[in-house]
Amino acid sequence: MKALRHTAYGEHPVVEEIPEPAPGPGEVLVRVAGAALNPLDVKIGAGHVRDHFPIIFPSVVGTDLAGTVARIGPGVTGWNPGDQVIARTDPISGGAVAEYAAVPVPNLAAAPAAVPLHLAAALATAAATAWQAVVEVAELRAGQTVLVHGGAGGVGGFAVQLARQAGARVITTVSPAGAGIATKLGASQVIDYTTADFRAEAGHADVVIDPIGGDTEAASLDVLRPGGLLVSLNTPPDLGRAADRGVRAEFVFHRTDAGRLAKVAAAGLEIVTDRTVPLARAAEAFRHLAGGHAKGKVIVRP
Ligand SMILES: NC(=O)c1ccc[n+]([C@@H]2O[C@H](COP(=O)([O-])OP(=O)(O)OC[C@H]3O[C@@H](n4cnc5c(N)ncnc54)[C@H](OP(=O)(O)O)[C@@H]3O)[C@@H](O)[C@H]2O)c1
């Protein structure tokens, strides 16, 4: 089969012919209909997160996939060949950007029927992380105001939708090319971060969801109401500075959870794609995602 593989830290991944994986005990073999790329894949390949996710080369890229169960491994119950699934593999194992992937059962959920199967891969990390931030950590409620940074990106786009589903008013920061997407997903105020200081335009928010980090994260503390919450996804927040300002801050580290995957699959989320490419062009798509300005999800279709 063909797969996109990291060959060494810092090298661009390449599409290669490799043996099809065999499902081990407790695993199913999935014929991949679509794989979604994430910034984590880029950080893993660059070696930036090797303390958490030390990969063994060569290593098939990617955690997020959707497809059809082709075979089940020893001891698997509850899943059968022909089942349509979404999955998030362990980031150290990777394996998603390939024609077939072996996936442990705790990393699987049934795919949503209302979404084309290859696109459902988009939900596995980005939507589940947004769910963790918006629903589980922030517990966003009707009547609250949330500022979501990067509302046309992978995590941000799903966070905007989940915040709207909760009944919150959504403000978001985007570059001009993302404004239409963020508005369509439910943002009621869109701030162009390339020309405006969001602190001057956003007013006060109960919650900030921040997948950007750095200066954006530091400035986000200034828009929170007393007692408000910053949910950081990229860089750990300055807890001392948050306390000085009378606000809370929390870092969310996404972990795969089959129950949460099932919830995002059932949430009726719209999947915005930046691009969908065949596996032969996966390396090019990976480089595009690494540029940091994707609008929606980058999908590889084996
Ligand atoms: N903590 C966790 O467990 C966890 C889980 C998932 C993701 N993450 C992290 O969250 C980050 C975002 O992930 P993603 O999947 O959403 O990435 P993505 O799909 O590449 O989207 C990032 C978006 O941010 C926008 N952007 C860039 N700079 C910005 C700024 N200063 N202000 C506002 N928007 C800006 C980009 O496009 P434009 O600037 O062109 O609008 C792009 O739309 C990554 O660093 C990722 O590693 C963390």
Cα 62 to ligand 1 centre (Å): 17
Indicate the helix (H) or strand (E) that contains 125.
none
In three-state secondary structure terms, 87 is strand
Asked, for residue 258, whether it belongs to a domain, the answer is no
Over residues 46-51, mean pLDDT? 97
Domain carrying residue 287: 2-124+269-301
Same structural domain, 88 and 28: yes
Is pTM beyond 0.75 here?
A: yes
Same structural domain, 140 and 212: yes
Ligand 1 interacting residues, C-beta cut-off 6 A: 38-40, 125-126, 129, 149-150, 152-156, 173-175, 177-178, 193, 211-212, 216, 233-234, 252-254, 289, 292-295
CATH no. for residue 242?
3.40.50.720
Confidence of residue 129 (pLDDT cuts 50, 70, 90): very high
Same structural domain, 66 and 131: no
Same structural domain, 170 and 206: yes
145: left (phi over 0), alpha (psi -120 to 50) or beta: beta
Same structural domain, 120 and 134: no
pLDDT in tens, 163-191: 999 999 999 999 999 999 999 999 999 99
Query: Which of 174, 209, 250, 256 for mutating ligand 1's site (highest number of atoms within 8 Å of CB)?
Result: 174
- Determine the length of the chain: 302
CATH no. for residue 97?
3.90.180.10
Q: Exposure of 25 by Cβ count < 10 A (0-12 exposed, 13-18 middle, 19+ buried)?
A: exposed
Same structural domain, 232 and 178: yes
pLDDT in tens, 72-86: 999 999 999 999 999
Same structural domain, 73 and 143: no
Provide the number of structural domains found in the chain: 2
Residue located via tokens 């930046």: 274
Mean pLDDT of all residues in the chain?
A: 97
Same structural domain, 140 and 90: no
Determine the straight-line distance between the first and last CA of the chain, rounded to whole angstroms: 10
